[in-house]
């Protein structure tokens, strides 16, 4: 099974590289597959932003991931 994680684009760099914020982690990802601006949400899979999300969808999906991780820790 493959999982893509929602993240907010917080910086764009040369060479189609962006910095995204997962909520508690920031990471550089490739932006070759999507046309995004700072502040937009994307799904990230294996280091590539593969799809744009609405802000609402990105935040709600991020919250679901937090709930799943919390349940796994119990």
The pTM of the full predicted model, rounded to 2 decimals, is 0.87
Sequence spans of domains, the chain: 5-73
Decide if 11 contacts 38 (C-beta within 8 A): yes
At residue 15, the 3 state secondary structure works out as: coil
List, in order, residues 6 or more apart from 71 with CB less than 8 Å away. Answer: none
Dist. CA 19–CA 68, nearest whole Å: 24
Dist. CA 10–CA 38, nearest whole Å: 5
10 or 65: which leads in pLDDT? 10
In this structure, whether the domain defined by 5-73 belongs to CATH 2.30.30.140 is answered with yes
What tokens appear for 31 in the block?
A: 């932006």
How does pLDDT run across 27-68, given as a tens digit for each residue? 999 999 999 999 999 999 999 999 999 999 999 998 998 898
């Amino acid at each position: 099974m493959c999982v893509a994680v929602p993240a907010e684009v917080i910086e764009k760099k040369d060479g189609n590289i962006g910095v995204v914020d997962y909520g508690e982690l920031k990471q550089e990802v490739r932006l070759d597959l999507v046309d995004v601006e700072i502040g937009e949400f994307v799904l990230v899979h294996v280091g590539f932003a593969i799809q744009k999300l609405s802000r609402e969808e990105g935040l709600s999906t991020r919250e679901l991931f937090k709930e799943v991780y919390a349940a796994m820790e119990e």
